[in-house]
Amino acid sequence: MPSELEKFKLAFTISLVPALLVSKEGDIILSTAMADELFGYDEGGLVGVKIEKLVPDKVRPHHPELVNAYFRYPSKRKLGNDRELAAVTQFGEVIPVEVSLDTVTIDGKICALAAIFDIRYRKQYEDRVNMAMDAAASAMIMVDEQGNIVFTNRAAVSLFGYEEAELLHMPIEQLVPREIKHAHTVYRRSFMEAQTARSMGKDTELFALHRDGFSIPVEIALTPVQTPNGRMVMSTIIDRTEHVAAERVLAEKSRLIQQTNDELTQFAYSASHDLKAPLVSITGLIDICLEDLEEGELDEVKENLLRCQQISQRSATKIEGIMAIARVGQDRVEPEAANLKTIVEEIWLDMTGANKANVKLKLELEHEDPIVVEIFAVKVILENLLSNALHYRDLKKAEHFITVKTELNGNNILIHVIDNGVGISEENQQVVFDLFKRLDDRSGDGLGLALVKKQVERLGGVLTLDSTLGEGTTFSVAFPLHFIET
Amino acid sequence: MKIPIVVVDDQETDRYLVKRNLARADDFDVPVELPSGDLFLDRFFSRDPGDHSDEPVLLVLMDINMPGLDGFETIEEAQRRIAQGQGPQSVAVMMFTSSDNAQDRQRAEDLDIVKGYITKPISKENISYIRSLYKSIDEDE
């Protein structure tokens, strides 16, 4: 009766798989012809060779310990599944392999039976696939049935900010914003059940979570994949950040166009009243003049001609005012260093002049002069606000105050013009900045605040209004200051 | 009896032009001039609620573009007050404006007591329209 070893020899002779039988001491006892060929030995040449001779240099020094460890806790296991495993031929060539290990007892001695699989071709194929995946512009992530990441490409690494090693085995929910994490788990399971390709984020806003905690707008296509390791899902993730930014720019542009359109419509309407009215009055007056001339009423003619003159002059001034508004923002103006305190004081002096109106101007300036601004724009703004404050003082009050107050807020300066005048009703606060809007008999052409608003916008600032009827009004202007490089 | 008429316009010149042109037509009274919608409402529509149906027709030329209440707002308020019996029952308003704007014409048409739309300056044709309008309403009374 042949010994157990003889039986194994026979089996090894007919085996078509590269296999080795290794003793506890790490000596090769038997090898198949395929193994001899794989490692570059003559037939039977591997017998007696130490197993560590077949492992790469790096592993060789501690390989005997690994062998010992294996024999201490022998079991059936597969090596190379989750990490790269390599073998070395007689000629030093390194071959990627997977190894199936099991133990057998032969003639009372425990031995390791190792089947070695040459995975060079599979590796080459995988590398090619990986290269193609890495070359793809879209991030790709494959998850297994449990929702763990089993594959990712380079685009995914750069999109999510994780290292590839960190992404692998990570639950996919870690890349989902917190508020939908739970729902995502449910969706993922039902998708695994249904197994039909679909896209996410086409109609709804979809976000993925970056390592640093911010959300990335994305669009995702899901494809079910059947693999030897079970059902998987390949997701292709398209980064919509730039797209979303472009959409925002477009929306802003169309809002501006709409605004310009509205302003134009408003202007056309106003022009039909405010610009046409003086011409119509002049026409009427001239008709009367012609009739009076025939009848020899020369005094009346003279009076009406003077009226015509006045109306034309007023209209010319008004048109100048409209042009001033229309021109705002067209010319580029260099910001200059200016003394805001001086500007306010000079305007005030011009406006109140020698006749000391019974209005007190108070300055509460918290900024430090000089500031760097477009001086002309600031002057126009302050002139109009101060002149309004003065004009709309409440005659029922014994004392009239106007305060100019400044604050600094980062790079922004806030200028408040505060008065205890008649105030503006809530209803009128909505329209007070409209072109040609005259609120009462004290109003001018209805151009002043429209001009202020344009100038503030030109400075990249905001104009707000806070007023209570009977108590007073505060106009506040906030705009960024420039800095002169020294 | 001459035809009584009220002009509501913030522009003194425009009120003067109405006055001069109506003076040429012999059958109109010297117009009552009011420079704002508020003063117009104070003058004609601030009475104790009651039956004012026996009063003569109130004929009004109403400017649109005025500071404070504009012409349309003034008319809307007048209509509310008529409904509460605070003013004359028989009111005929003609918008009186430099604007030939479609938007304004439409708005005028939607107001009950507005019976016409006259663009400035006032002409002889306008005046005969006002006269016939007044007569048609007055005869109905």
**Do B36 and A441 make contact, defined as CB atoms within 8 angstroms?**
yes
Q: Write down the pLDDT at residue A330.
A: 66
Contact A281 B11 (CB under 8 A): yes
Strand order in the sheet with A359-365: A359-365, A400-409, A412-419, A472-480, A462-468
* B89: contact with A, CB 8 A cutoff: no
Q: Is the dihedral of CA A263, A269, A272, A273 positive or negative?
A: negative
Minimal Cβ distance to A283: which of B35, B103, B121: B121
Residue A48 contacts residue A28 (beta carbons within 8 Å): yes
Element (H, E) at B8: strand B6-8
Say yes or no: B65 contacts chain A, CB-CB below 8 A: yes
- Kindly write down the DSSP assignment for every residue of A13-46, as one continuous string: HH--S-EEEEETTSBEEEE-HHHHHHHTPPTTTT
Res B137 pLDDT > 90: no
Question: How far, rounded to the nearest angstrom, does the alpha carbon of residue A464 sit from its chain's CA centroid?
Answer: 29
- Answer whether residue B38 shows pLDDT above 70: yes
* Beta strand ranges found along A381-445 (DSSP E): 400-409, 412-419
> How far apart (Å, rounded) are the C-alpha atoms in residues A421 and A392?
6
For A272, the closest chain B residue by CA position comes to B99
Of B64, B98, B103, the CB nearest to A280: B98
Cα A192 off chain centre by: 32
CB count within 10 Å of CB A341 equals 15
Answer whether B122 touches A (CB < 8 Å).
yes
pLDDT for the residue numbered A227 = 83
Of residues A273, A307, A443, nearest to B67 (C-beta)? A443
What's the average model confidence in pLDDT over A112-137? 88
pLDDT in tens, B53-110: 778 889 999 999 888 788 999 999 999 999 998 989 889 999 999 988 888 999 999 9
* pLDDT (0 to 100) of residue A355: 56
The chain-wide mean pLDDT, for chain B, equals 90
- Enclosing H/E stretch for A118: strand A109-118
Query: How high is the ipTM of this complex?
Result: 0.88
Instruction: Check whether A399 has a pLDDT greater than 80.
Output: yes
A 10 A CB-CB count for A463 gives: 20
A202, containing H or E segment: none
Q: How many CA atoms lie within 13 A of B28 on its CB side?
A: 24
The answer to whether B97 contacts chain A (CB < 8 Å) is yes
How do A215-227 and A472-480 pair as beta strands? unpaired
Per-residue pLDDT of A156-211, as tens digits, reads 999 999 999 999 999 999 999 988 888 888 888 888 887 777 777 667 788 999 99
| φ, ψ at A477 (rounded to 5°) | -120, 130
Please check whether residue A372 is in contact with residue A484, taking contact to mean a CB–CB distance below 8 angstroms. Answer: yes
Q: Would you place residue B141 in the very low, low, confident or very high pLDDT band (cuts 50, 70, 90)?
A: low
pLDDT confidence tier of residue A486, bands split at 50, 70 and 90:
very low
Chain B contact set for A279 (CB, 8 A):
98
Mutate to test the interface with A, among B17, B18, B119 (most CBs of A within 10 A): B17
